Amino acid sequence: MDKVYNFVADEPGVRLDRYVCERLAELSRTRIQRLIADGHITVNEQVAKAGLKLNAGDRLKVILPPAPPSPLTPEAIPLNIIYEDDDLLVVDKPAGLTVHPAPGHPAHTLVNAILARFPRLAALSDSLRPGIVHRLDRDTSGVMAVAKNSLAQTKLVEQFKARSVAKTYLVLVKGRLTPENGVIEAPIGRDPRDRKRMAVVTKGREARTEYRVIRYIGDYTLLEVRPETGRTHQIRVHLSAIGYPVVGDKVYGVKSPFLSRQFIHASRLGFHLPSTGEYMEFKSELPPDLAQALKDIA
């Protein structure tokens, strides 16, 4: 059965889709925009566009048809939760866990694990990525934030787009990288010779990566890396492009007898909490396999 919600706009100038998002935080903006496009949300009994600026006193009616069944299956996969409030989770993702279902990985993902703990997340979006605001590669471990409602998801995504989120990674590369502090600025796009790979290409998207040498270990360098942009495989592509490939990276880097995966760990993530605006940072210690690799190459 349809659910019906009635609202009276109490402040002028707010976009229709944003207003409904704030009143029905359990719905994603994508779903709300689709409801508007399908005529399920009216203003003063008239069909309206998502970008309509409301006037104080406008009467809104939201008809919410039953959501289609989610294709996602909750799975009891253990999670290491660093922080939790009403709006979000911060998890310490292990290497080997894919973030969300995709071709080739239909299940056994972080999303499936989160749904087992929070079934309501399935209603957050009709996509396969409910609550996901950023990604880590399957073989990258470390800190990830996951939204628990639509408004929190919107606020977190806005911070990532504004590049106000502090992202720090620990990365081991082959070679002694100099200078000890630097910035890599090179556009990234699909590799024209292999569409499954990314590469530095002239017509790619802007990408910027800062790094700092933590220490040299023989013919290796342990780095603290801060990507300012969030391009696919950015750290791996940029470091390979300057001649210092990531250890254990089977696509862009160099294989290692000490590692079965790439040496990239998301060690720190800082952002403003959606609920209070307070800035907080969350940390993850280097996991045992990477810590052991450092001992093995010393």
**HSE-up (13 A, CA, CB side) for residue 225:** 26
Q: What is the pTM of this model?
A: 0.79
85 is catalytic: no
For the segment(s) 81-161, the CATH number from 3.10.450.100, 3.30.2350.10, 3.20.20.140, 3.40.50.300 is 3.30.2350.10
Q: What is the DSSP string of 148-186?
A: SSHHHHHHHHHHHHTT-SEEEEEEEEES--SSSEEEEE-
Token digits for 104?
């080739």
Token digits for 50?
């998502």
What is the per-residue pLDDT across 49-102, written as a single tens digit (0 to 9) for each?
999 999 999 999 999 887 666 678 889 999 999 999 999 999 999 999 999 887
Q: Which residue has the tokens 């024209």?
A: 192
Least confident of 2-11, 80-89, 160-169, 174-183: 2-11
Alpha-carbon dihedral angle through residues 147, 150, 151, 155, given to the nearest 10 degrees: 50
DSSP state of 26: T
pLDDT at 227 over 80: yes
CATH 3.10.290.10 maps onto the chain at 3-64
Look at domain 166-297 and name its CATH class: alpha beta
Report the candidate in 100, 109, 127, 119 with the shortest Cα–Cα distance to residue 30: 127
**The length of the chain, given as a count of residues:** 298
CATH 3.30.2350.10 maps onto the chain at 81-161, 166-297
What is the per-residue pLDDT across 191-217, written as a single tens digit (0 to 9) for each?
999 988 999 999 999 999 999 999 999
Report the CATH architecture of 3-64: Roll (3.10)
Residue 126: predicted pLDDT: 55
Instruction: Name the active-site residue from 17, 87, 92, 137.
Output: 137
Tell me what the pLDDT averaged over the chain comes to: 92
Q: Which residue has the tokens 């006037």?
A: 55
- The CA distances from residue 247 to 160, 174, 221, 284, in Å, are 27, 6, 10, 20
What is the per-residue pLDDT across 145-156, written as a single tens digit (0 to 9) for each?
999 988 888 899
**HSE-up (13 A, CA, CB side) for residue 85:** 9
Q: Which residue has the tokens 């990830």?
A: 144
